[in-house]
Each structure stands twice: as structure tokens, then as C-alpha cells.
Amino acid sequence: MTSSLESLNRWVEDVARLTEAEKIHWCDGSESEERLLKEQMLASGDLIGLNPETHPGCTLHRSSPTDVARVEHLTFICTRDRDDAGPNNHWMAPSEAHAKVDALFAGAMRGRTLYVVPYCMGPIDSPISRCGVEITDSPYVVANMRIMTRMGSAALARIERDGHFVKGLHSIGDLDPEKRFIMHFPEELTIKSIGSGYGGNALLGKKCHALRIGSWQARSEGWLAEHMLIVGIENPRGETRYIAAAFPSACGKTNLAMLIPPESYREAGWKVWTVGDDICWMKPGEDGQLWAINPEAGYFGVAPGTDRTTNPNALTMIQHDTIFTNVGVTADNQPWWEGLSEGVPARDWQGRPHDPGQGPAAHPNARFTVSAKQCPSWSPMAEAAEGVPISAIVFGGRRPSLIPLVFEARDWTHGVLVGAAMGSETTAAATGAVGVLRRDSMAMKPFCGYNFADYFSHWLSFDKPGAKLPKIFHVNWFRKGADGKFLWPGFGENLRVLEWIIGRCDGSRSAVETPVGRVPAATDINLDGLGLSAAAIDSLLEIDVDGWGREMAATGEYLDSFGARMPQALKAEQKRMAEALSKSTPSQVRAAGG
């Protein structure tokens, strides 16, 4: 029987021959290795040193102007049966995909070092964690993977114990957009990515493994791999409840994960603990609850918009030992981006003298890569092998109208429908138009590694005897008034909504039944000191029956678009909601809400 390490060695040798790599370097994750790589990248220009007095240990990477975001149209799920990939994914037959991408890998590492990066997604000793190996010719990728995963010798030892691992092959190639592909082979637990050095396309432990391949693994093994933050809310009695929340990229996940309570809450003893800001792996425990880990060890966050007012914890943690990507710099070489209240940009993200006429100083999708442990609100429970118990699952997106500030699903099936139907305005985190409303089920549209209809069935399968499932909610921080301004202040004040959510989980808070779910009355949420008008509060919690009727009709069409595999239970729930709305009047809903 061949051991996993023998299999790994053979694979590395085969890739080295195909790519014609000049050297092979096995990464051990040590500090000495990190120092050497950093020195090499500073010498080559892959990294640029930033001001050592203001930002010690920080560096800047500038990527190609054609390589600044995920490329969903070049990302493929390659399954034998096209229907297994589903209409939510671009599909290519595995034989065709291997042939196409291997032709591009031929000779791609000529004159370069091939790095072998063994990594573990999640705490090394967690039964929920899974391992992989990324082969890459990018030292920038190695540096990022060291921050984002448990990388090196310990991961290699676990791979030997487990006897299996996810294979990830990456090369920056010649950065030609016409030769750029991100291929996933879930049946083979294999990823092949070429032509991009950007994070989501090149850090294969992140979206490629943790979500696309991870979701396939999760379905076959009975757990969930989700695009969710994990945050712990500690009340004044010292009790901590954990919430998993899904938002599309650049819609406030990191801000919520690192939320700082309003002053009145801090004085009362409330605390917020960050377990993760982007990815959540959940597995049923023996007690029937869902237990979750953050499979990542770092944050790959969006820099623009990060400031002391929006996310003080994030700004604090990136003041040292951080890799910045595609930000601008000030005259004294400090990182700068739009939304930062201090400093003036001297050069833009492409290294040109900053000219507002040429666009923003930082790319809208500029990033920072930093160790999770540098976050002031980092929770030691992020390293707990058993994970943390999830009390609530929260969905949300950017919706300027219709969706109220918060509502609770009536049961698990309704909650799955709420997650399936969620939509958001698009952002700069993916290529394409910005500000367009698109459905993004569970914030997994770009990341689910198989047919969404099967994915919804998998979610529904957790509702079984003995299960103690989290309650499911939907929030909308982005509702606007007639003047086009946000009605809700957001940021730290979102804790007021989370307090109600936790109260619903422990039975201490009331709610109003409506055709779309349970909504708080104005008196159910602590609004003290916010200065919101009665009209603003009414608008935030309003249920527009006619609008929701149209929403449910559109949701039905969306579910039907996935064909015969769509679970009937979800279609029945959509019909139930549509009928309940058709029998309601706006006055009834207002009367029910007081």
C-alpha cells in the first residue's frame, strides 16, 4: 500500500518534470525560511518594504493590473457528470480540463523554484480540519499561505497520519489573462490554477480548497463548509454565544467579525470575540449541536474602507507584520487606501504618482494579509480542536429596500429558503459590474463546488431527530430611506441586533409573527441613544407585502432554474410563503407589529 508521503513525492516529481522547475523547495514553515523568502522577494521587487517606524515588518505587493480579483468566468468545476457541477458553476469535462491546463503548465516554471507547501485548514489537532499541499512557483503565495494556514512540518506530519490530502497545483505562468484558469476536480480532490497571482485564485487553501473542494468533502462526509464569519458575543454575565454569518464578499463580514460594542454596551460588560472572518466549517457534535472551526489562521481582508470608525480592530492589527496588496503609499512610505482618515497618497497601487484622474490610489479590492492572532478581539477558542457551538446562523446582503433590519426564520426549512433566496448588490471583490442585484445563496454562489440544488438538499438533511440546530436569521444593515441615506447606523451598533438574535435563541426576547418570518417590534431592540426617528424605525422593520409577493415569485423562478434536482421541500416552503403573503394585507402586518 502506497503511503500518502510516497504519493506526494511522486506527484512533486511529476509536476517538476512537467513544469521544468529549476529547483524544488519543501516548505517547513519556520521563521528562518520566512526571513529568507522575504529577503529574496524584497531583492526581486516582489515585495516592497514599507515604513519600518510606522509599520514594522510590513511589506507591499503590486500585482499585474490585469490580475486584481477573482475571475469567476475562468473558474471551473470539473466533474464527470455535468449536472453534478450544476448551473451555478462553469463546467468542463475533467479530461478536457486536465489537457487544457496541463498544456499551459508545460515549462511554466522554467528558471523558477517550485515550492511545496503542506498546509492544514484548521487547528492541527482538530477532527474537523483537513489538509492539503499546494505546489506553486510564487514566493508571494508561500508567504501568504504561511499566514493564512497552519503551514509546514506539522501539516506534513498530519498528512502522513491522515493518509490523504487535497492536491493544489499553481503557477503564475506569464500572467496572460487569455491563459488563466482555475480548475477544480472535486472527485479527485485536486485543484489546478494558472495565470494568476491574486489571492483567491492563487492561495489555493482559501476559496479553492476551503469552500469549493471543501463543500464537496463536507457533503460526502456529513458536515458544512461555508462562506461565513464566526463571532462570539459575551454578555455581562460572562456567557458567550457563537454566531456564524454569511455575507457576500466586501459586504461587512470582517467588520462584523471584529465588532467593537457601543460604549454603553462596553460599560455594561459586553465583549465580542473574533473566531473567524470569512470561512466556517461546521460539523454535528454528539450533543446534536453544530460545532464550528475557522479553517484559516489569518485574514485576507479588503483594505479600502477600513478605518478607526469602521473597524478599529482591523486597523490596529495591520500596523505590523502585514502583507499589503495593491494599496497606495504616502510620501513617507506608509500604506494608504480610500477611506483612511490619515495620510495623503503619493503613489497609487500601480506605483505611479497619484493622480485622481487616473483612478483611486488603492485598488477597490486591495487587500491585507495578517495573522489572526494580531486581532485585538481574537478568541483563543479559534484554536480549540472541538470548535465552538453555533447558536445562530445569520444571512445578509446589501439590499437598499424590501428586506427589514432583521427577521427570524420560523424553522430550519424556512431558514434554508431564506439563505437560498438571499441577494446582494455586487462589489469590487469580483470582476464585472458593480451595484447589480444578484442572488447569492448562502453567499456561496462563487464558491459552492457542486450543484446548488444538491447543496440545498444537503442543508435540509441536517434537520433530523436529535438535532439541536441553530436558529436562522436574516439581517440587512443597508436599507435606505427616501433620501438615499442608510437608515441604520451599522458598525458597532449592529450588536443591538445581535443582542435580539441571541435573546431569540435563549427565549428571552419576543417577536412579531409575519408572513416572511418573525420580526422584532420597535420595543424588542435596544435603540437607546441612537436618535432614530419613529419613521426610520418603522421603515427598518416594515414588511412590504406586495414587494415580498414579487420577491417570492422571483425566488420560485430562481429555485426552478436548478431543474429536477431542486428539493421539493424547499419549493413547498416557497409556495407556503407566497400563499401566506397573498392572504395578508399591509394593514394586517402593521397591526401585528403594533
According to the model, what pLDDT value does residue 336 have? 98
Residue numbers in the chain where pLDDT is lower than 50 = 1, 591-592, 594
- Determine the pLDDT at residue 588: 56
H-type alpha helices, 222-359 = 253-257, 263-268, 312-317
Concerning whether 280 is annotated as a catalytic residue, the answer is: no
Three-class DSSP category at 520? coil
The two beta strands, 271-276 and 280-284, are: unpaired
Q: In order of start, what are the domains of the chain with their CATH numbers?
A: 4-46+70-222 (3.40.449.10), 226-297+380-592 (3.90.228.20), 298-374 (2.170.8.10)
- Note the pLDDT of residue 403: 95
What pLDDT is recorded for position 248? 82
**From 58, 78, 208, 251, active-site residue:** 251
Q: What are phi and psi of 368, to 5 degrees?
A: -130, 145
Q: According to the model, what pLDDT value does residue 594 have?
A: 47
**Contacts of residue 567, Cβ cutoff 8 Å, sequence gap at least 6:** 453, 456, 457, 460
As to burial, measured by CB atoms within 10 angstroms (0-12 exposed, 13-18 middle, 19+ buried), residue 143 is buried
Query: Residue 101 has what pLDDT?
Result: 98
First CA to last CA distance, the chain: 69
